[in-house]
């Protein structure tokens, strides 16, 4: 019996390590985007920010966008207040007195509060009421660089895409939960970039995303995935990929990075990851689901082997060997990723975080499929 278990563990370990090394190769093949400084700003943007109870963050987020070195007449910022019961809307109304291109949409004026995906409905409503050809989304707790829109514009003029994924980084406040999230998110962002580089589109993040309004309309927006609480980014990318297979780009430039805070505690972190995991079976491209399944089974093996080793202590040494292989391959992959995001110092913590990462992967993956979670004060099944 133990031979079967060890055989399966060896198989999944080897497959997993090969996959991670492929990601490493694809990431290294990414070409750093150097903007053409001779191009003048020409793209008109509607920047959409869904916001629910974000009074502590929304002014900082919107201000960072409005301070961009981009012509004011070429973009608008649309904040969608998602049934907030704090001062989110009040804050935006005050800012509107100073910025003519800042708009507020209150979702309560458009829909009844009985939805499963308020964020998708917020974005959809904003797009219907937007003025410009390109949609750019970010989150209400994010901060963007002053060259953010300029880089989007330059990339659009240079590459003629219809969908652009761009990098996101957690800032580190040096707490344990913060360091853990930064490292975990580094791996997700690295896989995002590597996958787009390889043409195998698996992930992107709505905190830093751009797409043509006509592409959104061409795939009927979120229709077909609007009942899924998460996926306003990845599921939309997969829908757009089908009619526009060679029009998806990744903007690989440090100055386009959007910065966002990690979850402040374990409960909210787990709820966030359950929310992300909940869409795993909704991908139209089943290869993505198979990759996610491989990752889950591999981590499940590493999770269960120490318990089985109680009955046969030799299994513990196998588990230790698998853990070393996992850590080594992931470290090789993460090194250039952490360098790009200027977070290499965090890699000292990486081996210590491995046991916690295995447990969280198994728990969040299971609850993402069979459990429920709380998000923004709402319980989602």
CB under 8 Å, gap of 24 or more: what pairs does 112-116 form? 113/83, 116/227, 116/228, 116/229, 116/380
Condensed to tens digits (0 to 9), the pLDDT of residues 72-99 reads: 999 999 999 999 999 999 999 999 999 9
Burial of 141 (0-12, 13-18, 19+ CB in 10 A): middle
∠ CA 284-286-290 to the nearest 5 degrees? 145
Topology annotation, domain 32-270: Spore Coat Polysaccharide Biosynthesis Protein SpsA; Chain A (3.90.550)
- Give 261's pLDDT tier (boundaries 50, 70, 90): very high
pLDDT of residue 314: 81
- Give 346's pLDDT tier (boundaries 50, 70, 90): very high
∠ CA 50-53-55 to the nearest 5 degrees? 100
| Torsion 15-286-296-194 (CA) sign | positive
Q: Which of 142-156, 235-249, 275-289, 315-329 has the lowest mean pLDDT?
A: 275-289
- Give 375's pLDDT tier (boundaries 50, 70, 90): low
- Give 21's pLDDT tier (boundaries 50, 70, 90): very high
pTM, whole model, 2 decimals?
Answer: 0.91
pLDDT above 90: residue 198: no
Highest mean pLDDT among 165-169, 243-247, 272-276, 361-365 belongs to: 165-169
pLDDT of residue 282: 64
pLDDT above 80: residue 359: yes
Condensed to tens digits (0 to 9), the pLDDT of residues 292-307 reads: 888 899 999 899 988 8
* pLDDT-above-90 percentage for the chain: 67
pLDDT of residue 1: 58
pLDDT of residue 245: 86
Q: Which of 52-56, 139-143, 289-293 has the lowest mean pLDDT?
A: 289-293
pLDDT of residue 255: 96
- Report the mean per-residue pLDDT for the chain: 90
- Of residues 2, 13, 3, 4, the one with CA closest to residue 358: 13
Query: Do 247 and 163 form a contact (C-beta atoms < 8 A)?
Result: yes
Domain segments of the chain as ranges: 2-27+284-371, 32-270
Task: Specify the higher pLDDT residue, 123 or 265.
Answer: 123
Q: Please give the average per-residue pLDDT across 166-171, as a whole number.
A: 95
| 180 vs 183: CA distance, rounded Å | 5
Q: Please give the average per-residue pLDDT across 50-64, as a whole number.
A: 96
């Amino acid at each position: 019996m133990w031979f079967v278990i060890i055989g399966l563990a060896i198989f999944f370990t080897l497959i997993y390590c090969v996959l991670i090394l492929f990601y490493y190769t694809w990431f290294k093949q990414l070409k750093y985007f150097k903007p053409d400084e001779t191009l003048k700003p020409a793209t008109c943007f509607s920047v959409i920010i869904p916001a629910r109870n974000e009074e502590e963050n929304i002014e900082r987020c919107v201000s960072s966008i409005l301070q961009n070195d981009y012509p004011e007449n070429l973009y608008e910022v649309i904040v969608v207040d998602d049934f907030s019961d704090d001062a989110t809307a009040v804050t935006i109304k005050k800012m509107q007195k100073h910025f003519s291109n800042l708009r507020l949409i209150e979702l309560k004026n458009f829909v009844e509060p009985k939805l499963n995906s308020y964020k998708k409905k917020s974005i959809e409503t904003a797009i219907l009421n937007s003025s410009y050809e390109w949609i750019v989304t970010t989150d209400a707790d994010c901060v963007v660089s002053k060259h953010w829109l300029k880089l989007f514009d330059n990339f659009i003029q240079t590459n003629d895409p219809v969908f652009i994924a761009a990098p996101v980084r957690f800032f580190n406040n040096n707490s344990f939960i913060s360091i853990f999230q930064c490292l975990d998110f580094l791996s997700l962002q690295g896989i995002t970039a590597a996958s787009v580089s390889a043409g195998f589109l698996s992930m992107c993040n709505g905190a830093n995303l751009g797409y043509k309004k006509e592409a959104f309309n061409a795939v009927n927006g979120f229709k077909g995935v609007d009942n899924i609480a998460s996926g306003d980014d990845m599921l939309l990318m997969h829908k757009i990929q089908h009619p526009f297979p060679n029009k998806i780009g990744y903007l690989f430039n440090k100055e386009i990075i959007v910065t966002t805070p990690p979850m402040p505690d374990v409960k909210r972190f787990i709820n966030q990851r359950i929310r992300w995991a909940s869409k795993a079976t909704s991908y139209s491209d089943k290869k993505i689901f198979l990759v996610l399944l491989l990752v889950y089974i591999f981590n499940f093996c590493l999770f269960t082997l120490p318990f089985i080793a109680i009955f046969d202590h030799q299994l513990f040494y196998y588990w230790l060997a698998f853990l070393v292989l996992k850590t080594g391959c992931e470290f090789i992959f993460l090194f250039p990723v952490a360098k790009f995001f200027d977070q290499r110092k965090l890699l000292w913590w990486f081996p210590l975080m491995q046991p916690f990462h295995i447990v969280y992967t198994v728990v969040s993956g299971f609850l993402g499929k069979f459990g429920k979670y709380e998000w923004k004060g709402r319980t989602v099944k």
